[in-house]
């Protein structure tokens, strides 16, 4: 019995260390206890299941292999909970599969700390020690008991996991489920027709006059309006836009439907949000309206597969991704997009749509701007002040100053065209940076904050555009970019059969609607609690 107890302690050591890690360094919640029970039952199922293998060499090999898999999965679950204050889920797998190596390295550099290093080091040392122990130390005497008793125990453990719902946060379950669902999503993208030049829009007509028009969509990255000076933030993070304030329409209550890029822009840039067999995108709409379309992105174009955004971009007449950097240290600044914009709008004889997808304010904020934009240093007014938090806050604010500079450059270049033009800027989602929570980043699973969804939505129009086309400006309309295609088509004087002006923030027919975030929460009631 003593030998059995010793072997069991070896197996349960990583479970205990992860539980102690969560209790010591993360906010205590019932999840940690549930995770302890779930992981313990998983160990029981694995040990008992492998005991049915008669060949001792194969059984010992599989025991070692499964031990390492379990140690790694337990650590991932605990680290994820420690960083994001929520359980590991399918969404995490989706995000991982849509992430490139550059972003993985940035994530590690952002969140890796001594506590995580200590957990990994302890379990790594113990795992290596386990692998090189004598084969006899892997045996448990009671595993020689009746096969029926072992089968009953396996079924009992499994039924308990299922009945309590504790299995739901299991890493292996979520990983397999996530990969299958992600592959299904990729197949859906492939068959949807979004890479074709034209979509399934009917009766598309451009209602503008025959002179050239230049329309620019600037998609920001991880930018919350709560840290922008033009939205009355106490720091002057947007001095150039603030100087243009009288020429801008600034919308005060616009949100993103998700706190991650792919999910949010999937809704913003498509007509059906992939709820039908075929899909049509905003690029295809402009193609059908006779515009020449451009997509210029400073985001890395691929994860493990082509991302949704690179597929949407393929429908454009011209596509260019400027960011091919590795390991998160040499990503180009967003200004590399400006010469491409110059070339795209040089033609004076055609209607033009240009999409600029920025990188600034993403991830390691200090890498997103040139040295001359190091404006903010020192202490901050965050309610979660610390020396390290101040560094993150200051670099985030500096990256917003750089975005402000880029937007001013874009507006100046378009204004110089002296035609009917606009520049519409919005962010794919927001970012929590020690404003409502002692955390920086975005994760909308368990305890999201307003800053993760509250985004800037700013419109500049040329004088020629304003004189020709009127719009209904109500700065406080509650709006979500889930219906962006209806707003942008309305703004751009493009009509099509399924256009719904009640979903256009620029229309006098606009009607407020239920704003859903994270796929299930009502934004306007969730944050009133």
Q: pLDDT tens across 283-334, in order?
A: 999 999 999 999 999 987 654 444 778 889 999 999 998 876 543 445 789 9
- Confidence class of residue 64 from pLDDT cuts 50, 70 and 90? confident
Strand partners, 264: none
Q: CA-CA distance, 486 to 316, in Å (whole number)?
A: 19
Structure tokens at 5: 């107890």
Domain presence at residue 194: no
One domain for residues 253 and 117? no
Which has the closest alpha carbon to 480: 450, 513, 436, 508? 513
Q: Which two tokens stand for residue 318?
A: 């011209």
One domain, residues 137 and 20: yes
Provide the pLDDT confidence category of residue 277 given band limits of 50, 70 and 90: confident
Same structural domain, 156 and 213: no
69-71-73 Cα angle (round to 5): 65
Tens digits of residue pLDDT in 481-512: 999 999 999 999 999 999 999 999 999 999 99
- One domain, residues 300 and 445: yes
Residue 422 lies in a domain: yes
318 and 392 belong to one structural domain: yes
Residue 336 in any domain: the answer is yes
Domain shared by 138 and 211, yes or no: no
- 334 & 212 share domain: yes
Q: Does the residue 432 lie in any domain?
A: yes
Identify the domain containing residue 89 by its residue range. 2-185
> Is the pLDDT score of 411 beyond 90?
yes
The 3-state DSSP class for residue 188 equals: helix
State whether 246 and 362 are in the same domain. yes
Residue 202 belongs to some domain of the structure: no
Task: Check whether residue 239 and residue 165 sit in a common domain.
Answer: no
The answer to whether residue 192 is domain-embedded is no
The verdict on residue 103 lying in a domain is: yes
Q: Does 193 map to a domain?
A: no
300 and 172 fall within a common domain: no
- Are both 283 and 165 inside the same structural domain? no
Do 47 and 156 belong to one domain?
A: yes
Q: How many domains does the chain have?
A: 2
């Amino acid at each position: 019995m003593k030998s059995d107890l010793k072997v069991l302690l070896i197996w349960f050591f990583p479970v205990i260390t992860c539980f102690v890690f969560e209790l010591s360094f993360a906010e205590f919640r019932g999840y940690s206890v549930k995770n302890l029970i779930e992981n313990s039952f998983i160990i029981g199922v694995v040990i008992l299941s492998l005991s049915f293998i008669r060949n001792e060499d194969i059984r010992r090999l599989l025991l070692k292999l499964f031990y390492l898999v379990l140690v790694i999965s337990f650590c991932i679950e605990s680290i994820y909970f420690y960083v994001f204050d929520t359980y590991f889920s399918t969404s995490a797998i989706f995000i991982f599969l849509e992430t490139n190596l550059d972003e993985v390295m940035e994530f590690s550099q952002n969140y890796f700390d001594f506590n995580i290093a200590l957990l990994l080091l302890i379990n790594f040392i113990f795992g290596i020690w386990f692998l090189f122990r004598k084969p006899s130390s892997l045996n448990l005497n009671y595993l020689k008991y009746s096969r029926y008793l072992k089968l009953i125990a396996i079924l009992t453990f499994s039924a308990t996991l299922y009945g309590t719902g504790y299995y739901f946060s299991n890493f292996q379950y979520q990983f397999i489920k996530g990969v299958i669902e992600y592959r299904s999503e990729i197949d859906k993208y492939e068959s949807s027709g979004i890479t074709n030049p034209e979509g399934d829009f009917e009766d598309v007509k451009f209602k503008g006059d025959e002179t050239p028009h230049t329309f620019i969509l600037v998609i920001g990255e991880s930018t919350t309006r709560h840290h922008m000076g033009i939205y009355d933030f106490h720091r002057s993070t947007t001095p150039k836009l603030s100087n243009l304030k009288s020429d801008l329409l600034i919308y005060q209550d616009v949100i993103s439907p998700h706190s991650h890029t792919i999910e949010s822009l999937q809704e913003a840039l498509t007509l059906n949000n992939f709820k039908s067999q075929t899909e049509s995108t905003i690029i295809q709409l402009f193609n059908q309206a006779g515009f020449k379309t451009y997509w210029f992105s400073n985001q890395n174009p691929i994860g493990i597969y082509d991302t949704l955004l690179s597929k949407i971009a393929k429908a454009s007449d011209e596509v260019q991704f400027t960011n091919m950097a590795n390991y998160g240290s040499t990503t180009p600044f967003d200004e590399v997009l400006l010469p491409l914009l110059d070339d795209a709008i040089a033609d004076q004889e055609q209607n033009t749509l240009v999409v600029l997808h920025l990188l600034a304010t993403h991830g390691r904020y200090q890498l997103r701007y040139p040295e001359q934009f190091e404006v903010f240093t020192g202490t901050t007014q965050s309610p979660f002040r610390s020396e390290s938090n101040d560094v993150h806050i200051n670099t985030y604010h500096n990256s917003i100053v750089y975005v402000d500079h880029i937007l001013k450059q874009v507006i100046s270049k378009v204004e110089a065209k002296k035609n009917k033009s606009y520049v519409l800027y919005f962010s794919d989602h927001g970012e929590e940076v020690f404003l409502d929570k002692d955390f920086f980043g975005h994760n909308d699973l368990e305890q999201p904050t307003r800053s993760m969804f509250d985004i800037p939505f700013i419109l500049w129009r040329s004088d020629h555009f304003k004189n020709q086309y009127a719009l209904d400006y109500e700065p406080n309309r509650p709006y979500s970019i889930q219906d962006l295609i209806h707003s942008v088509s309305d703004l751009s004087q493009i009509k099509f059969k399924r256009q719904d002006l009640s979903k256009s923030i620029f229309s006098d027919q606009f009607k407020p609607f239920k704003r859903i975030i994270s796929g299930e929460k009502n934004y306007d009631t969730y944050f009133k609690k």
